[in-house]
Chain A
Amino acid sequence: MFKWVSVILIFTTSASFGFYKSYEIRQRKEILSDFQDMMERMVTEIAYFKSPLPVIISQMISSENRLSNQLLRNCYGQYAYSEQRKDFLEIWKTAVDDTYQMQPVKTDDLSVFYRFGSILGQSSYDAQKGHFELIEKELSRRLDDAEAEYKTTGNLYRKAGVSVGAVLAVAFL
Chain B
Amino acid sequence: MKQFEQVLQCLPPVIQYQINTLDPWSRQRLEEIRIYKGKAVQLYADGKRIELTGKINGHDMQNLLRQMIKYSYYAYEEDLSKGFITIDGGYRVGVCGKAVMENGKVALLRDISSMNIRHAKELIGCSDKILHYVISENDEIHNTIIVSPPGCGKTTLLRDLARNLSMKHIKVAICDERSEIAGMHDGISSYQFGPTVDVLDGCPKAEGMMMLIRSMSPKVIITDEIGRREDLEALKTCVNCGVHIITSIHGYDMKDIKRSEICPAIENNIFQNLIFLSDSPQAGTIREVINV
CA distance A69 to B10 in the complex (A): 28
Evaluate contact between B10 and A121: CB separation under 8 angstroms.
Answer: no
CA distance A156 to B23 in the complex (A): 74
When each residue 19-57 of chain A gets 1 if its CB lies under 8 Å from chain B and 0 otherwise, what string results? 000000000000000000000000000100011111100
Of A51, A55, A85, A122, which is within 8 A of B73 by CB? A122
Q: Does any Cβ of A come within 8 Å of B77's Cβ?
A: yes
Chain B residues 49-78 with CB under 8 Å of chain A are 63, 66-67, 69-77
Q: Does any Cβ of A come within 8 Å of B99's Cβ?
A: no
Evaluate contact between B9 and A124: CB separation under 8 angstroms.
Answer: no
Evaluate contact between B77 and A121: CB separation under 8 angstroms.
Answer: no
B71 / chain A contacts, CB cutoff of 8 Å: 52-53, 87-88, 120-122
Evaluate contact between B63 and A51: CB separation under 8 angstroms.
Answer: no
Please give me the residue from chain A that is nearest to B108 by CB atom: A124
**Size bracket of the A interface:** 10 to 19
Evaluate contact between B67 and A50: CB separation under 8 angstroms.
Answer: no
CA distance A53 to B73 in the complex (A): 9
Evaluate contact between B74 and A54: CB separation under 8 angstroms.
Answer: no
When each residue 48-76 of chain A gets 1 if its CB lies under 8 Å from chain B and 0 otherwise, what string results? 00111111000000000000000000000
A59 CB to nearest B CB, Å: 10
CA distance A88 to B68 in the complex (A): 12
Please give me the residue from chain B that is nearest to A120 by CB atom: B71
A94 CB to nearest B CB, Å: 14
Please give me the residue from chain B that is nearest to A92 by CB atom: B71
Of A87, A120, A125, which is within 8 A of B77 by CB? A125
When each residue 106-131 of chain B gets 1 if its CB lies under 8 Å from chain A and 0 otherwise, what string results? 00100000000000000000000000
Q: Does any Cβ of A come within 8 Å of B186's Cβ?
A: yes
B170 CB to nearest A CB, Å: 32
B91 CB to nearest A CB, Å: 15
B108 / chain A contacts, CB cutoff of 8 Å: 124
Evaluate contact between A124 and B73: CB separation under 8 angstroms.
Answer: yes
Chain B residues 1-42 with CB under 8 Å of chain A are 9-10
Please give me the residue from chain A that is nearest to B81 by CB atom: A124
B117 CB to nearest A CB, Å: 15
Q: Does any Cβ of B come within 8 Å of A107's Cβ?
A: no
Evaluate contact between B69 and A52: CB separation under 8 angstroms.
Answer: yes
Most buried by A among B63, B70, B77, B186: B70
Please give me the residue from chain A that is nearest to B9 by CB atom: A85
B75 / chain A contacts, CB cutoff of 8 Å: 50-53, 121
A-binding residues in B (CB < 8 A): 9-10, 63, 66-67, 69-77, 108, 186
A-B contacts, 21 of them at CB < 8 A, read A46-B74, A50-B75, A51-B75, A52-B75, A52-B76, A53-B70, A53-B71, A53-B72, A85-B10, A85-B67, A87-B66, A87-B71, A88-B66, A120-B71, A121-B69, A121-B74, A123-B73, A124-B77, A124-B108, A125-B77, A128-B74
